[in-house]
Amino acid sequence: MIPGEALIYEQANDVIYARYRDPPYNKIPRWIIGGDPAGVARTQGELISYPEWQELCALSLENTTVKTLLTTLVATYMLARKDK
């Protein structure tokens, strides 16, 4: 944050951004300051947000197909991760 500089706030796809209003700082790209966790996660390139991950884990307890796929995913992750 640059003291004394005015900000413009924008909202797009459930994400809230800020950017500087006046030159020369208005050339600085906008940055994320908040919003819906799922929208922020998608904007940052994540597949799902943490609350969606928790929901997926809970769903795996009652849906055998999801549990099978999630178990396979976790096993693949364990084999592929770098810090063994």
Structure tokens at 7: 């900000």
Q: Is 74 left (phi over 0), alpha (psi -120 to 50) or beta?
A: alpha
pLDDT tens figures, 26-77 = 999 999 999 999 999 999 999 999 999 999 999 999 999 999 999 999 999 9
Report helix, strand or coil for 39: helix
Rounded mean pLDDT of 18-24?
97
Sequence-ordered strand ranges (E) for the chain: 7-12, 15-20, 31-35
Residue type, 62: E
Distance between the two ends of the chain, CA-based, in angstroms?
Answer: 40
Q: What is the pTM of this model?
A: 0.69
